């Protein structure tokens, strides 16, 4: 946490946006044995939309673009945690994990950690 607290607010929000972009890319990687990708699942569009909106809201907030009626860091923190929950559920469901789900897990943990830390700092 000490490293992330040394970053400026804008840098943390840009990092959240980049990590959500990497999460979206990881949806096309192999998640399970036999070439199973996350994008083959029926509910993947929820995780895709959550990561996309979280990344866009983070970028908008980082560059001081006012999004009407939305607390930028709170929305980004919530939606980024949705991607983490989706990845954890997929991790429990897939028996033979591949490298794509590990990338997705690491990226979603980092993005959630940074997003929630930024949101907490904004509330203080």
Q: Give how far the C-alpha of residue 12 lies from the chain's centroid of Cα atoms, to the nearest Å.
A: 13
Residue 101 lies in a domain: yes
Q: What is the 3-state secondary structure of the chain?
A: CHHHHHCCHHHHHHHHHHHHHHHHHHCCCEEEHHHEEHHHCCCHHHHHHHHHHHHHHHHHHHCCCCCCCCCHHHHHHHHHHHHHHHHHHHHHHCCCECHHHHHHHHHHHHHHHHHHHHHHHHHC
Torsion angle, alpha carbons of 15, 38, 100, 50, to 10: 10
Tell me, what's the pLDDT at 2? 53
Residue 3 lies in a domain: no
Residue 68 lies in a domain: yes
Residue 6 has pLDDT above 90, yes or no: no
For the stretch 76-112, pLDDT in tens is: 899 999 999 999 998 888 778 888 889 999 999 999 9
Residue 47 lies in a domain: yes
Answer whether 0.95 is exceeded by the pTM: no
Residue 1 lies in a domain: no
Q: What is the mean pLDDT of residues 56-76?
A: 82
Number of domains, the chain: 1
For the stretch 8-63, pLDDT in tens is: 888 989 999 999 999 999 999 888 877 778 888 788 999 999 999 999 999 988 88
Tell me, what's the pLDDT at 45? 92
Residue 114 lies in a domain: yes
Q: Give how far the C-alpha of residue 81 lies from the chain's centroid of Cα atoms, to the nearest Å.
A: 7
Q: Which domain holds residue 83?
A: 8-123
Block residue for tokens 């959550």: 50
Residue 111 lies in a domain: yes
């Amino acid at each position: 946490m000490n490293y992330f607290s040394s970053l400026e607010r804008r840098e943390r929000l840009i990092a959240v946006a980049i990590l959500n972009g990497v999460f979206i890319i990881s949806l096309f990687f192999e998640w399970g044995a036999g070439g199973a990708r996350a994008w083959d699942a029926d509910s993947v569009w929820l995780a895709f939309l959550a990561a996309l909106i979280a990344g866009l809201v983070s970028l908008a907030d980082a560059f001081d673009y006012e999004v009407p009626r939305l607390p930028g860091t709170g929305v980004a923190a919530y939606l980024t945690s949705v991607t983490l929950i989706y990845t954890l559920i997929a991790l429990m469901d897939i028996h033979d994990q591949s490298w794509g789900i590990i990338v997705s897990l690491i990226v979603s943990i980092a993005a959630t950690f940074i997003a929630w830390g930024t949101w907490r700092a904004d509330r203080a």
